[in-house]
Structure 1
Amino acid sequence: MDNIDKFNFSADRPIHNIDEDLLGRAKFSENLAEAISNWNGKDSLVVALYGDWGTGKSSVKNMALTYIKDKSSKPIVIEFSPWEWAAQEKITKAFFNEISKSIGKESSSEKNKRLADSFKKYGNYLAASEVILTSTSNSLPFIVSAIAGIGFFSAFLNDTKIITLITTGFVAISPFLKWGVENLKRLAGYFDEKAKDSEKSLTEIRSELKVELQELENPILIVMDDLDRLSTSELKMIFQLIKANTEFPNVTFLLLFQRNIVEQKLTDKTQSGKDYLEKIIQVPFNIPKVSQIQVHKVLFDRLNKILELDKNSNIQFDQDRWSQLYHAGLKNYFNNLRNVYRYTSTLSFHFTLLKGRTVFEANLVDLIAVECLRVFEPEVYNELSISKDAFTTFKSLGSNRENNNKDFKLIIENVILKTSENNRENLRKILTELFPTIQWIIGNNYYEYESYSNWFSEGRICHNKNFDNYFQLSLSQNEITKSDLVDFISLTVDESLLKRKMLELDSNGKLKEFLSQFDSYENQVTEDAAIPYISALMDVGDYVSDDGTSFFDILGAQALIYRLVYNFLLRIDVKEKRGDILLECFNKLNVFFIIAKLLLSEQEKRNENKETLLCDSQYILIKQMFVSKLKALAFSNKEILLENNSLLKLLYRWKEWGEVKDITAWIDSISTNFQDLLKFLSQSIQYSTSFDGKISQKHYYIKASNINDFFDVDRIEQIINNADKSKLSTEEINTIKLFNEGVAKFRNGNEDHW
């Protein structure tokens, strides 16, 4: 069973069972087990299994041990991990203690008990010698001279009570301080062990061991993995330990490491690491080379499991783009299972963070590629994350191409330089596939704006609104998600729900940003939804305004709604059908802004002899309906019209397309009510924006000439002067102030300077 949880995480541990083998190495493991099991020489056998990092040495070893343990006549297997004892001077003692414990666990027979005790004694002797040699290597000349100076040198070699004498007699001697109290304690341990072993010599214990090992029915297999993790000094200690004990019968060593690393660590001025190993290793094996096809089959299986975590991801997955990126260079990062497990574990985690309610919140193919860079090319990933403009700036054919081209090219090249030299061409291909937006910089290829819009709706990293999601790998609560946009499409069949949703977005200050993003999704709204969709847009168009736009904004909420209506109608091939949709929607609604803007656009196109959206007959009919409905509303419910954010624009269209006497009569009715007049003036407030290089500021004003197109400003001024202003609100007082300022500019002839 794979070491994977429901999120497809992997602990990157080697396999232990043969049925877990995914790369066909079971047969090699069986042959390795046979080679080890059949050894019956008089001396020890040292077998090495060479393999690079991540190629599965430990997995092959585990399968081989499984084969060995299933044999009727099987060796005593002892797995010793020297790197767990690295930097500890008790490594020799630990080594023989592990052997002793394993033999004791294997059988409680008297023979095994004697052998276990012999190994322990042997280890104690060697460990004590190791302590003396390592602890005194730098200070021995001082110690020997200090002891010899007072006649104790012979005692140092023979008397077990020497430690007491040294500790009490030589601590004050300055050269001896270089050795230290801690090493004295270790040396005391040596003599304690020697005393416990009844003063048997090393030769005697070694002889006992050889006899006991020769009588063993089952040989001993000592396995040491990850030797390449050790430092040079630790490696030499281990190999010296192995070399010193190769005369023992019935003992086989199985050593696992990356050969070039160990050879490099063992090479010095006195020897070649390669020669050193050849003197110790008797039977070398190389881990079987695994084909990339086998490794990639595991990769694909794990990627499929990740996709299963979100049912929507399969729908969005672009097989062609995945194939292009895979062959562009992604495949080169997966040359062993460890890389596959390491990569898919982190991918599965980030995949779960980007699961949306309705759709996956990123482009899955792009996420797979970007995550590959994050895991295997961290410097590239980090540099890319701060190079958004260079990689996402879009330029279409015919647009201004000269600015930033050279700067962006340098930034892109700097990202590519963050990888190794032999991988730069692969990385360049990957980045070009991920970012078609850079092709105008590094080549001479350009795309239509429609492509850029599609890249946004597809969640592609190359769009500047999607880019950051691939580096923060989570979505903020206030962020507009792809699920929000897709859910909005489902609402287009229900006029009431769609209107409610847009008004909710407007009240939260999100409508403009939402509509600007939905612009890339509007082509997914079907013709079947035409009436509820257009009706809701037209209705909301009269409730919102463009006052929220900033200095650099081109489109506000109203303009974006108009754009959605226009683009939807443009997708319908037949002009008469477009007109039918507008007539049906307008007939049931008292809404005017979107219709007025469409009619004005149609009028300008006719004046310029350009292609129109509507046929002439329907254009005339809709214009007549507009005037008729606006007039009816104005006289039946003037309060609703006075609250319309586009009042002044609508009055201009009424005046142009309708009867002058009708609008004059309505204006006269407004002037008789001071509150109605103030509402009219407040709807005439405009603003301009200035920018000082740091912040933008809005400047509100009333252009008196606009008022004068409908009212005599002198008459309004007189009405205001005669009115009781004591109970007016702050907003109403400010409206009067703006009107007076506007009249003054109007009379001075500098009305256009705000």
Structure 2
Amino acid sequence: MNRQQGLLSDSALENPEQDQFGYSSFAENIADTISIRTPADEFVVGIYGQWGAGKSTVLNFVEQNLEERSDSPVVIRFNPWWFSGQPDLINKFFSQFRAGLDLEDNRFDNIREKIATLSRGVSKLPAEAVGVPISPVAKGVADVTETDEPELGEVKESISEALRESDQQIVVFIDDIDRLTNDEIRQMFRLVKSVADFPNVTYVLAFDRDVVVEALEEGERGVQNGDRYLEKIVQLSQHMPIPADNSLHVFFTNRLDAIVGEDEVTFNKTHWQTVYRHGIDPLIETPRSAIRLTNAVKTSYGAIGDEVNYVDLIAIETLRIHFNEIYEKIRENKTRFTVRNHPNQGKDLDHDFLWENYEKPVDTAEMLLSYLFPRYSRNEISPWKSISENEDTYRKRKRICHPDMFNYYFRQTVPEGEIPQEEFTSLKTSAQDHEKFAQILLDLSEQEGKSGRSRAYNFLKRFQEHSREIETRKEATLGLFEVADHLVQVDPRANSLDDGNIGLLFQTVYSLIEEADKPTQILDDAISTSHSPYFGAYLLGLLSQEHGEYGGTERLERERLLQYEDICDLRETWVNQIENQASRGDLADVDRINLVLERWRDWGDSDDAVEWVRRYTADNESLIEFIEYFLTDVNASTGETYEILKLEQIEPFLDIEDVESRFNTIDDSGLTERQEEVVEIFIQAQSLEDPNSLEGWAFNRDR
């Protein structure tokens, strides 16, 4: 992953050559206006723009442009925000003003001394004397009664006369006025209007006009009309220009592109164009807003870039930056937004809770939500309504709306037990060698994943989504078959909606061989060489359902994976494997032997299967173990779970009366508690009129 590029600073640019938004020509025009003027009195220029629009950059460009001229003025910079909260803001201004006049030729030395006198005097005056609000703590215990107001007037007039005679233009840049408190904002404008209104001095003020107007009007000392007040002070008002055509778009998208560099990212260009045009572009109004969002994306990408969908990451970060209250509600309500793959899940959900007590415009937020979360349906006119995707597609594309992916975006880290993208890519490559692949799956099965599953389960969930990308289909299939029964045992079926590894294995193998040139040959090799008879029986049973067997609905020929004749050949291969295991004496070690025996009876010589069971159950301990294989857990409406036994499943292999006779005469003193439970369940099944009735089992169990 590309992590070399750092965050982008939003500091003002210094050099017009760095300009990307067309601000340099705007600054040059202002500099021209300042240069050609020979005002007898003070002149005030106002540059208006919202926060982050680039006002400080324009001030820098104006300053450099002026300094490059042969008749360059004396330039003084003052940022009152540096001194905000301090009681002597006016004195700080005069100190900066004096420092700016400290030139090598000493021509302003006399003026500088007079400015110091004026500063000391003004700091002693009560606010009403010059219209400047001065905090009571500004001068501590200053004795304002000793101040001679006429003398201050004389000092100021003396300064004005000296500046007029100097014939030297002075330009004072004052930035960040809109960051001050309301009282401080009023101080700055009264300073410019009434205190430091000197000839040959041009003030260039940069601020957000709306913020300043509100501050001027607020409170007991506020003016009645802030707009008119500004008009009396500012002789030349200039609004920040709209960035040059497409320049902000280019700046923003180039930055996003630079974040990923040469990385391979999950990125749908069609989706991006719609998301950007309707959900992000309206929010990118200034260079600072572009920098703020790209820096957020950069930080998140550095943590989880390999694991997520890049468009989704940009979109959710946009919500976090611009609609943080909505973002927090989404984070706290995962189930309301993530897709689930079963009927009607997520339809007609009420998402109005997102907008409770929310007063900001929400059009862009709703557009982003409708893209990120298909379950969000508040706006029926959505550009995403026509896009058809399913849960598997969402997971493969690392979409935030998939329940497995949601936490990645909000935790900014790979959830514990998950397979990071870099590791997954390496593991996926191992499918080129079936032995190596099988060993890796075994290793993963011994590692703890999330939600009580192994990391093998987490890997298979992702591998199944990418199975059609695997070129070595045969090697991958052989590797899966080699360890399939072990994986099924490690991560068994949890409920009707969670098949565990058995479902993932079937889907993966089906996808691998579906587009293979010789699917039957691949399966034949896998069945004949593997140690997974249960998975082989399960797979062939489901493939048989495509032909209407085992309760399946017969599919059209073009929809079947294999011809029936091919399935019969594979069954024969599987039976040969079972017979070989039986002759070696290790068939009893097979997990879920009940299904294996049923398929052996169906696809091979039924007498062979029955004979094997007869020999295997010759002793009572093995008989009990055999019966236990056929026990099934069922959930009652009360929430309780019962183990039941359907006698018709064991009748093809054992004589029920013979088993009953053996259990009636068994010496239970040597049985374990579990063995006693199995015997009791068998006897209970014998006593029920309908062993398939859950109510009967519950009644007898509770007696």
| TM-score normalised by L of structure 1 | 0.79
Whichever residue aligns with residue 741 of structure 1, its letter is I
Please give the root-mean-square deviation of Cα atoms over the aligned residues, in Å: 3.8
The equivalent residue for 1:320 is 270
Greater gyration radius: 1
Q: What secondary structure sits across from 1:92 in the alignment?
A: helix
Give the Cα separation in 1 of the matches to 2:426 and 2:386: 29
**Is the 8 Å Cα contact of residues 125 and 190 (structure 1) preserved in structure 2?**
no
The equivalent residue for 2:428 is 489
Give the Cα separation in 1 of the matches to 2:624 and 2:426: 42
Give the Cα separation in 1 of the matches to 2:205 and 2:438: 73
- CA distance 1:417–1:525, change in 2 (3 Å): farther
**Is the 8 Å Cα contact of residues 704 and 743 (structure 1) preserved in structure 2?**
no
TM-superposed deviation, 1:58 = 0.9
The equivalent residue for 2:27 is 29
**Is the 8 Å Cα contact of residues 542 and 645 (structure 1) preserved in structure 2?**
yes
Partner residue of 2:583 out of 618, 635, 639:
635
Structure 1 position 120 matched with structure 2 position 116:
yes
**Is the 8 Å Cα contact of residues 178 and 211 (structure 2) preserved in structure 1?**
yes
Whichever residue aligns with residue 312 of structure 1, its letter is E
Structure 1 position 563 matched with structure 2 position 503:
no
Give the Cα separation in 2 of the matches to 1:184 and 1:60: 36
**Is the 8 Å Cα contact of residues 391 and 412 (structure 1) preserved in structure 2?**
no
- CA distance 1:294–1:600, change in 2 (3 Å): closer
The equivalent residue for 1:374 is 320
TM-superposed deviation, 1:461 = 2.5
The equivalent residue for 1:585 is 526
Whichever residue aligns with residue 238 of structure 1, its letter is M
Whichever residue aligns with residue 372 of structure 1, its letter is T
Give the Cα separation in 2 of the matches to 1:609 and 1:252: 89
Partner residue of 2:591 out of 645, 652, 658:
645
**Is the 8 Å Cα contact of residues 133 and 187 (structure 2) preserved in structure 1?**
no
Give the Cα separation in 2 of the matches to 1:52 and 1:660: 85
TM-superposed deviation, 1:513 = 4.6
Give the Cα separation in 1 of the matches to 2:224 and 2:150: 36
The equivalent residue for 1:600 is 541
Give the Cα separation in 2 of the matches to 1:338 and 1:183: 35
**Is the 8 Å Cα contact of residues 407 and 415 (structure 2) preserved in structure 1?**
no
Give the Cα separation in 2 of the matches to 1:303 and 1:183: 49
Partner residue of 1:186 out of 141, 151, 155:
141
- CA distance 1:185–1:349, change in 2 (3 Å): closer
- CA distance 1:400–1:471, change in 2 (3 Å): same
- CA distance 1:247–1:740, change in 2 (3 Å): closer
- The C-alpha deviation readout for 1:326-369, integer Å capped at 9, x for no partner, is 223421111221111111111111111113xxxx2111112112
TM-superposed deviation, 1:305 = 1.1
- The C-alpha deviation readout for 1:381-424, integer Å capped at 9, x for no partner, is 334444544544468xxx955x8744x2x416955995744x52
TM-superposed deviation, 1:536 = 2.1
- CA distance 1:600–1:56, change in 2 (3 Å): closer
Give the Cα separation in 2 of the matches to 1:649 and 1:440: 48
Give the Cα separation in 1 of the matches to 2:564 and 2:49: 80
Q: What secondary structure sits across from 1:223 in the alignment?
A: strand
The equivalent residue for 1:12 is 10
**Is the 8 Å Cα contact of residues 45 and 238 (structure 2) preserved in structure 1?**
yes
| TM-score normalised by L of structure 2 | 0.84
Partner residue of 1:42 out of 40, 48, 57:
40
- The 5 Å alignment of 1:442-591 reads 442=380, 451-483=390-422, 485-507=424-446, 508=448, 509-510=453-454, 511-526=456-471, 529-545=472-488, 548-572=492-516, 577-591=518-532
Kindly tell me the number of residue pairs found equivalent between the two proteins: 674
Structure 1 position 353 matched with structure 2 position 303:
yes
- CA distance 1:449–1:486, change in 2 (3 Å): farther
Whichever residue aligns with residue 64 of structure 1, its letter is V
- The 5 Å alignment of 1:223-262 reads 223-245=173-195, 248-262=198-212
Give the Cα separation in 2 of the matches to 1:377 and 1:365: 17
- The C-alpha deviation readout for 1:444-495, integer Å capped at 9, x for no partner, is 9988986432122011223333233333332223234455554443232221
Give the Cα separation in 1 of the matches to 2:132 and 2:246: 55
Structure 1 position 107 matched with structure 2 position 104:
yes
Deviates more, 1:442-451 or 1:234-243: 442-451
Give the Cα separation in 2 of the matches to 1:496 and 1:724: 47
- The 5 Å alignment of 1:43-82 reads 43-82=41-80
Consecutive unaligned residues in structure 1, runs of 5 or more: 139-178
- CA distance 1:657–1:262, change in 2 (3 Å): closer
Give the Cα separation in 2 of the matches to 1:122 and 1:353: 57
**Is the 8 Å Cα contact of residues 292 and 335 (structure 1) preserved in structure 2?**
no
Whichever residue aligns with residue 380 of structure 1, its letter is I
Consecutive unaligned residues in structure 2, runs of 5 or more: 698-703
Whichever residue aligns with residue 234 of structure 2, its letter is I
- CA distance 1:746–1:717, change in 2 (3 Å): closer
- CA distance 1:745–1:69, change in 2 (3 Å): same
Q: What secondary structure sits across from 2:440 in the alignment?
A: helix
- The C-alpha deviation readout for 1:569-620, integer Å capped at 9, x for no partner, is 3344x7xx22222112223234322332233345452556544433343333
- CA distance 1:600–1:217, change in 2 (3 Å): same
TM-superposed deviation, 1:644 = 1.1
Deviates more, 1:597-606 or 1:535-544: 597-606
Partner residue of 1:295 out of 248, 262, 266:
248
Whichever residue aligns with residue 125 of structure 1, its letter is G
**Is the 8 Å Cα contact of residues 439 and 446 (structure 1) preserved in structure 2?**
no
Give the Cα separation in 1 of the matches to 2:670 and 2:163: 112
- CA distance 1:592–1:28, change in 2 (3 Å): same
TM-superposed deviation, 1:647 = 0.8
Identity, % of aligned positions: 22
The equivalent residue for 1:169 is none
- CA distance 1:415–1:233, change in 2 (3 Å): closer
Partner residue of 2:263 out of 311, 315, 319:
311
- CA distance 1:691–1:537, change in 2 (3 Å): farther
Whichever residue aligns with residue 99 of structure 2, its letter is K
Give the Cα separation in 2 of the matches to 1:137 and 1:378: 38
**Is the 8 Å Cα contact of residues 391 and 438 (structure 1) preserved in structure 2?**
yes
- CA distance 1:456–1:19, change in 2 (3 Å): same
Whichever residue aligns with residue 311 of structure 1, its letter is D
Give the Cα separation in 2 of the matches to 1:664 and 1:263: 95
**Is the 8 Å Cα contact of residues 46 and 252 (structure 1) preserved in structure 2?**
yes
